[in-house]
Amino acid sequence: MAEGTLSGVGLRGEGQHNGGMTQRPVLTRTRDEFARALAALHGRRALVMTMGALHAGHLELVKRAKEAGDHVVVTIFVNPTQFAPGEDFNAYPRTLEADMDALATVGADLVWAPAPEDAYPEPIDVSIDPGPIAKVLEGASRPTHFAGVALICTKVMGLVRPDVAFFGEKDAQQLAVLRHVFAQLDVPVKVEGVPIVRDEDGVALSSRNRYLSEEERIRARSLSAGLRAGAEAGAKGASADEAVAAVVEVLEDAGGIDIDYVALVDEGTFTVLAATAGVALGAEEERARVTGAAGGGRSARLLVAARVGTTRLIDNTALVLKERAGE
């Protein structure tokens, strides 16, 4: 196949022949290489940020980006600042060759796969605190996580200056945090959310699914099955608490699922409206505000985080809670 090229900059993709139908994107590593390749792009830039180990969920983001921009820029970087000590930073799968082949099939133009010292050329002493939205749920389980996500994403927005950036609803809280950070810091990018891509058995695609044994994989189906049950209950008029309970019931029936949280949040503000024990609900006045503002029904998101064996999985679904008399 043709090698990926960006005219005028002398950068070529590490092309491999695979039938002549597709070409690999240009691969850059250092900041200088990346800057030169970016300078050669004229037209609308669409950005997809990933940690690699790409699957059809990531590729869906790239396909959407391809429709939205003249050039699709993809970053592949396992970002150390969003992992806490003891998390799976070292073990996280790194599959650059396969990722480049996968990106060739969806027409990505330019990849930046920096080493940590390219992404963070000097010890960094600036941090971003995304505020209360980053303290609940994933932020409660992983207190430094969203600060690290906000930092790398803000840096990459500054380097790439994309017109539009695509993020998956799979990481719904990340999407909400980034919308909030970019709005408050006036980062001039349009953020687009992309619906979750699932396997045939309903399990949301995730780079971490490869850690599951065959038997754990079957149990992992209960996350999406539970969310479906919760969403159906909500559609039939269940309360926020009842929708959460419907999810928990499916997870408990499956057995062997260690629930971190099940929660129902307001879609826009991520205010926690109902949740399993131990999760801080949004302040009463905030809950009343988002509930009251919703009028005919509230756009909410039902979320689950659970360990299946040693693998921590997250999943979520959108639902509209019906207004109920007295609420």
Regarding 176 and contact with ligand AMP (CB under 6 A), the answer is: no
Q: Are 24 and 44 in contact (CB under 8 A)?
A: no
Using CB under 6 A, which of the segments 28-36, 111-119, 200-208, 234-242 binds ligand AMP?
200-208
Cα separation, 49 vs 61, in Å, equals 9
Kindly write out the interface string for residues 101-120 of this chain, putting x where it contacts ligand AMP by CB under 6 A and - elsewhere. Answer: --------------------
Q: Is 317 in the site for ligand AMP (CB under 6 A)?
A: no
CA distance 11 to 17: 18
Burial class (CB in 10 A: 0-12, 13-18, 19+), 134: buried
Q: Which residue is nearest to ligand AMP (CB)?
A: 168
Give buried/exposed letters for 86-118 (b at 16+ CB in 10 A, else e): eeeeeeebeeeeebbebbbebebbbbbbbeeeb
Tell me which of 81, 154, 207, 222 binds ligand AMP, using CB under 6 A. 207
Per annotation, catalytic residue among 42, 55, 58, 71: 58
User: Of 52-91, which residues contact ligand AMP (CB under 6 A)?
Assistant: 57-58, 60-61
- Under rule CB under 6 A, residue 225 binds ligand AMP: no
Q: If binding means CB under 6 A, how many residues of this protein chain bind ligand AMP?
A: 17
Pairing state between β 45-50 and 164-168: parallel
Q: Mark whether 145 is an active-site residue.
A: no
Q: Among all chains, which residue has been given the structure tokens 């998101």?
A: 301
Cβ distance to ligand AMP smaller for residue 25 or 57:
57
Shortest distance (Å) from residue 164 CB to ligand AMP = 13
Residue 168 within binding range of ligand AMP, rule CB under 6 A: yes
* Nearest distance from C-beta of residue 287 to ligand AMP, angstroms: 26
Q: In 218-242, which positions are buried (b, 16+ CB within 10 angstroms) versus exposed (e)? A: ebbbbbbbbbbbbbebbeeebbbeb
Pick between residue 82 and residue 271 the one whose CB is nearest to ligand AMP. Answer: 82
Q: Any contact of residue 197 with ligand AMP (CB under 6 A)?
A: yes
Q: What residues line the site for ligand AMP (CB under 6 A)? A: 50-51, 57-58, 60-61, 167-168, 170-171, 194, 196-197, 204-207
